[in-house]
Copies of this chain bind each other. A is one copy, B any other.
Amino acid sequence: MEFLEGKAKFIESWGKMASDWGINRTMAQVHALLLIAPEAMTADQVMEELDISRGNANMNIRALMDWGLVHKQLKSGERKEYFFAEKDMWTVVRQIIINRKKRELEPMIKALDEIASVEPLTPESEHFCEVVQDIRKFSNKANQTLDTLIKAESNWFTNMFLNMVR
């Protein structure tokens, strides 16, 4: 496969996977582009390469910085801002875990805690409470595990994988 074909395919696949996971496709494509860029890029270069508008490029670069996946680089003597992606895969995954946990898992746990105050007075509400308790326990365990994962070192993560498949 040619480099340019591979590059296009990589950007496309990364975007596809992201949109399956509820993440803006273009944001993921910008991320893919910066991941494989050997040097930091300007917003103009991103617009050009992905053929998207200035507003779109700006919005998604900013979102990627919010996620902690992309950083700004200022070059002395230049006014333009340059951007580059975090390349260490474990750090990338960790940042994604941190963000999704905060945005999605924690609100869900909060909602479940409130819901858990329902009294099991009827057969219907009794069953309801049981299901909610199960999910609560599960979510809390997942939350704790993710906290541990977030604190863990890269090699620890590798080791966990190896342990599990052994």
Select one of B20, B35, B37 contacting A104, CB under 8 A. B20
**Interface flag for A128 (CB, 8 Å):** yes
Interface range for A: 35 or more
Cα A63 to Cα B32 in complex, Å, equals 31
Cα A147 to Cα B164 in complex, Å, equals 10
Which of A41-49, A50-58, A70-78, A138-146 lies on the face that meets chain B? A138-146
Asked if B161 and A1 make an inter-chain contact with CB atoms under 8 angstroms apart, the answer reads: no
Chain A, residues 17-36, CB within 8 Å of chain B (1/0): the string is 10111110000000000011
Cα A13 to Cα B108 in complex, Å, equals 7
Cα A164 to Cα B150 in complex, Å, equals 11
**A21's closest neighbor in chain B, by CB?**
B22
